[in-house]
Amino acid sequence: MSVPLTLLGLLDRAPSHGYDLKRHYDTLFGNDKPLSFGQVYASLGRLTRDGLIESRAEPGDGPDRKSYAITDAGHGQVAEWLGEPVEPAPHLQTVLFVKVVLALLLDRDAAGYLDLQRRTHLARMRELTEIKRTGGPAELLLADYGLFHLEADLRWIDLTTARLGTLAETVRIAETGKNA
């Protein structure tokens, strides 16, 4: 995810100090990976250099006496970014996929692996469902996002489980070049 663009988006709502901006970001998007102050100030520096935001010094002392505000160019940039679709990344080369193909090639227990993965996925889905029940709006949206993606994995896991017999046969034929 683009940290500078996200910070720019937050500044499109209201001007902010670097510290508040970081807190706002962490609450909405940080999940278990909060931004470092280094990242925040590096991003703000870049945005200022590109003319997308302006800083204003405020009276008083301490490091956080600068308030940042979006410029017209910055406003345009956010509008453009929000209007663009993201790359539909098919996540094809996940470890999950690689493990199943290898298990089939090596004639290991692919079904056992898939069952275990299914259980692990569902356990995580239970946690996310619980987060939805107890968490705030940003957590709800994030948990939903996770749930739908895990569900997609699960459907693939179920389908692959159902296809294992045929798949193993196909892999064997491809490897030995003959019907078993």
Does 154 sit near another protein (CB under 8 A)?
yes
Q: For residues 9 and 20, is the Cβ–Cβ distance under 8 A?
A: no
To another protein, the closest distance from the beta carbon of 119 in angstroms equals 5
Contacts 24+ apart (CB under 8 A), 96-104: 96/153, 96/157, 100/160, 104/164, 104/167, 104/168, 104/171
Q: Which residues are paired to 56 by β-bridges?
A: 67
16: phi then psi, degrees, rounded to nearest 5? -155, 160
Binding mask 159-178 for another protein (x = CB under 8 A): ---x----------------
Nearer to another protein, 94 or 129 (CB): 129
From 158, 163, 165, 173, residue interacting with another protein (rule: CB under 8 A) = 158
Nearer to another protein, 123 or 174 (CB): 123
Nearer to another protein, 69 or 147 (CB): 147
Q: For residues 68 and 18, is the Cβ–Cβ distance under 8 A?
A: yes
CA 53/CA 156 separation, integer angstroms: 45
Q: In the range 40-99, which residues lie near another protein by CB under 8 A?
A: none
**Interacting residues with another protein (CB under 8 A):** 115, 118-119, 121-123, 125-126, 128-129, 133, 147-148, 150-151, 154-155, 158, 162
